[in-house]
Structure 1
Amino acid sequence: MAVALSDVFVEVPGGRIFVRHWQPDGATNAPIVLLHDSLGSVEQWRSFPQTLAIRTGRPVMAYDRLGFGQSSRRTAPAEPGFIDDEALVYWPAIAGVLGLGQYVLFGHSVGGGMALAAAAVAGDRCLAVIAESAQAFVEDRTLSGIREARNSFVDGAQFSRIARWHGERAKWVLDAWTEVWLSARFREWSLDPYLGQVHCPVLAMHGDSDEFGSCAFPRRIVEGVAGPARMEILAACGHVPHREREGEVLKLVGSFLAESGVP
């Protein structure tokens, strides 16, 4: 199946957002929109979006949040309400500019939390949510993993991995993750205020060896949402299932969308 690739910048409050679109030949179903993790970007999804488009026969979109990748720089420190802002301000603005009537949200890590929060306020515009390795609250394992990661980035070679994707934005990107999550102001954060407002089908995938959170996260999600929910625990898998277990993730996503009757 041929997939056409196109890039666009859209204006949102505070700057421009970079969006990439994978369009399979003849695809007319609702698109899958990818929301990246705390250090992520469009480019860091690598070949997964194209493979996802081919396997599902759906358009796939991914975007860089403000401050990340090719989107506009940010200089002010990230705030604890950044997940709310993505759900209430930025994603609705992006969807409006792109003219998206209905869509499926697929979020990795904090992007999964953003996807669920966005679905809660989107009503019937969001047809389904796929939450991969999503945090549902602040767990001790999450904080330990972040502290360990922050220490590793003191090494110049490790930090250059972030700079490869984010360039001069790299220090802001790292701080936006570590300083917010490790702050006392963020300690009581959870998805609980949003979950009961999510009425669309939800798939919560989680690796049993995820270094940033236990299986309590997907359990909280599937027990908390108002709509039908399915939990899948991937054996011997860490925090990035779409890279570590790509074939299994693609199969799960395909069967979930089919069984849920997502148009």
Structure 2
Amino acid sequence: MAFVDIDGINLEYEWWRPREAAAESSPVVLLHEALGSVSIWRDFPQRLADALRRPVMAYSRQGYGRSGREGRPRGLDYLHREAWHWLPRVLEALEIERPVLVGHSDGASIALLHAASGMAPQPEAAVLIAPHVEVEPEAIAGIEAADRLWHTTDWPQRLARHQPDPQRVFAEWRDTWLSAAFRAWNIEAEIPKIACPVLAVQGDRDEYATLSQIEKIALGAPRGKMVVLPQCGHSPHRERPDALIAEIARFLDELDELVEKRA
């Protein structure tokens, strides 16, 4: 575990290297979910690094995991701020150029916004796992159900393994998404601006969204495609990691083959 100073705030990050040596290739950068951190990825980063034969880096966003927290209140534009302010600074500080962005849920929306922004460093490709491009009724119902579980199960204790302040992290997520003002949040207009190849992946049993989310990305992104994982909910990297890794590997292999043909 290491830390990088961004705007006076220490953000935790970690690298995983493939066990089998590979040719020089762009690293994968993992962007975590709304309640996530470096540790919540568990063994997925190493498995991904080995399968892709690429280095993988994950960091905890400000306010999550062991990372510090900025003093300003969380706004309804928090995903845009992560995509346009924090992510490019992390990549620059760690000297990461042309990353493959792999984001889950909130992290997927952050990856989408950054890829569409044109800001440096631009990604080689983006993999969006259970992304959100708008607030659907299913998201509201899913978060309301999550709130009930939060108060009736050991979820707070389990999240405390990854978050020093699990109550705050959960409340910020719940209160933002359930607020009346956030119902209008929509980033569909950004989709056509994504210049890099993009793969949108979603489980067919996602508790927080319909397949309309990835359909809009596949149809709207100039180089977009989608994959639906059967018998899978909102967290494919935990529920069906082998299938997800295979789809990511296939997607990147196809890009490598296209580059070789052009060369």
TM-score, normalised via structure 2 length: 0.92
Aligned-partner residue type, residue 104 of structure 1: V
Alpha-carbon distance change, 164 to 194 in structure 1, aligned in 2, over 3 angstroms: same
Query: Is the Cα–Cα contact under 8 Å of residues 77 and 176 in structure 1 kept in the other structure?
Result: no
Matches within 5 A, 1:113-152: 113-121=109-117, 122=119, 125-152=122-149
Pairing of 1:94-243 with structure 2 (within 5 A): 94-121=90-117, 122=119, 125-155=122-152, 157-167=154-164, 169-226=165-222, 228-243=223-238
Q: Deviations over 1:201-245 (max 9, x none)?
A: 11111001000101011001112223x111111111101111111
Name the SS for the 2:160 alignment partner: helix
1:23 alignment partner, one of 12, 17, 21: 17
For 1:20, the aligned partner's letter is E
Give the Å deviation of 1:200.
0.6
- CA deviation digits over 1:127-177, x for unaligned, max 9? 10000111110000000000110121123622112212102x212211221
- The residue aligned with 1:4 is none
How many residues were matched structurally? Answer: 255
Question: Are 1:252 and 2:247 counterparts?
Answer: yes
- The answer for unaligned runs of 5 or more in structure 2 is none
Residues of 1 paired with 2:84 and 2:199: CA distance?
A: 22
In 1, Cα distance between the equivalents of 2:245 and 2:78? 29
TM-score, normalised with respect to structure 1: 0.92
> How many angstroms apart in 2 are the aligned matches of 1:124 and 1:65?
18
- Does the 8 A contact of 1:13 with 1:90 survive in 2? no
Cα separation, 2, equivalents of 1:156 and 1:245: 24
Query: Are the aligned partners of 2:91 and 2:121 in contact in 1 as well (CA < 8 Å)?
Result: no
Q: Secondary structure at the match of 1:125?
A: coil
3-state SS, counterpart of residue 193 of structure 2? coil
- Aligned partner of residue 37 in structure 1, secondary structure: coil
Percent identical among aligned pairs is: 35
| d(CA) in 2 for partners of 1:39, 1:129 | 21
Q: Offset at 1:26?
A: 3.6
Query: Are the equivalent residues in 2 in contact too, given 1:75–1:172 (CA < 8 A)?
Result: no
Separation of aligned partners in 1, 2:47 and 2:16: 10
The residue type paired with residue 152 of structure 1 is: L
Whether the 8 Å CA contact 1:143–1:212 is kept in 2: the answer is yes
Residues 124 and 82 (structure 1), Cα distance of their counterparts in 2 relative to 1, 3 Å cut = closer
Contact 1:19 1:62 (C-alpha < 8 Å) held by counterparts: yes
**1: CA distance between counterparts of 2:77 and 2:17?**
33
Q: Is the 8 A contact 2:98 2:121 kept in 1?
A: yes
SS of match in other structure, 1:176: helix
Contact 2:49 2:56 (C-alpha < 8 Å) held by counterparts: yes
